[in-house]
Amino acid sequence: MSAIALTLGPVFFHWPAERLADFYRRIADEAPVQRVHVGEVVCGKRMPFSDPCWPEIIERLERAGKEVVLATLAAPATVRERRSIAELCGDGRLVEVNDFTALPARSGRPFVAGPFLNVYNEAAARFLAGQGARAICPPVELSLAAVGGMAGACPGVEFEMFAFGRLPLAISGRCYHARLHGLHKDSCQFTCERDADGLAVDTLDGQAFLAINGVQTLSSQVHAFCPSPDELAGHGIRRLRLSPQSCDMIEVSKTYRALLDGQEELDSARFILSCLDLPGKMVDGYARARPGWHAVAAVD
């Protein structure tokens, strides 16, 4: 059985181009992740800012030996957004499909089904495999047991679990950053750029709850699913996905690598993660078949 691989998911947030370039330079040089997903998946309006920097980032990552996957928009609407998906689907690299819009353009060629695609059961997974899905990262609300059930029934597909980062919970046609600032989406002034991990949304009683990122809603808490390698292998899971946050993602990826290689104990891995500058408390409810906000066992 080969080792469980690590994937770095696409950045959900509106990071300036220089920040993206710096981030991926370090990932290329230092992060023990095998596959790196790049591209804008949340808001097509941000694409003009980041589009120019991807060629250099991709070259740098590939020269460092990473497999680059091109991620596509989760909720395309405009002609320009749809055209960008078709262009990405024509690339020779692997593509992360996050909406069925991409399937006709990618038909028959290999792709990764991203977490925004509704693949909830083994029959749907088999159908997508027939369309070209080589790897599937199922929706975040599915448990380890559920993903394991799919993996057991689809041995030809690589199953990947969303393991680290604020959970992508919802996407809308409406921009909440714009609405909060009294603006409309069409004239949003890109206020989402101010919040590198999204903007915290607390309840009226001060409970940390959600975070907004333009048209996206995330959890306030940070999903930090730390399984043992045996547990993952037993469920047929082949990859864990780490979703970029502004904390030290090199340290995050090294910690997961050490955990999966048996060089770090579960409790100490959780402790190391908890010491990073995370935007919220660590939770893993979804993976454990509980409400998503349920906390990871306490770390002393």
Count of chain residues binding another protein (CB under 8 A):
66
Q: Which of 213, 217, 245, 255 binds another protein (CB under 8 A)?
A: 217
Contact criterion met (CB below 8 Å) for 161 and 236: no
Half-sphere exposure of 6 (CA within 13 A, CB side): 25
Stretch in the footprint of another protein (CB under 8 A) among 49-57, 175-183, 233-241, 248-256: 175-183
Of residues 107-126, which lie at the interface with another protein (CB under 8 A)? 116, 118, 120-124
**Residue 68: exposure state from Cβ atoms within 10 A (0-12, 13-18, ≥19):** buried
- Alpha-carbon separation of residue 108 from 38, 40, 70 (angstroms): 22, 23, 17
Q: Which of 65, 108, 186, 230 binds another protein (CB under 8 A)?
A: 186
Tell the smallest beta-carbon distance from residue 285 to another protein (Å).
8
Give the end-to-end CA distance of the chain in Å, rounded to a whole number: 33
Q: Is 184 in the site for another protein (CB under 8 A)?
A: yes
Q: Is the backbone of residue 190 left (phi > 0), alpha (psi -120 to 50) or beta?
A: left
Stretch in the footprint of another protein (CB under 8 A) among 19-27, 36-44, 165-173, 227-235: 165-173
Say how far apart CA 167 and CA 216 lie, in whole Å.
10
Pattern 45-74, binding to another protein, x per CB under 8 A?
-----------------------------x
Q: Is 132 in the site for another protein (CB under 8 A)?
A: no
Taking alpha carbons only, the member of 4, 2, 1, 38 closest to residue 240 is: 4
Q: Which of 25, 109, 179, 281 binds another protein (CB under 8 A)?
A: 179
Contact criterion met (CB below 8 Å) for 99 and 74: yes
Residues that bind another protein (CB under 8 A): 74-77, 82, 85-86, 99-105, 116, 118, 120-124, 127-128, 139-142, 145-146, 149-150, 167, 169-176, 178-180, 184-186, 199-207, 209-210, 212, 217, 219, 285-286, 290-293
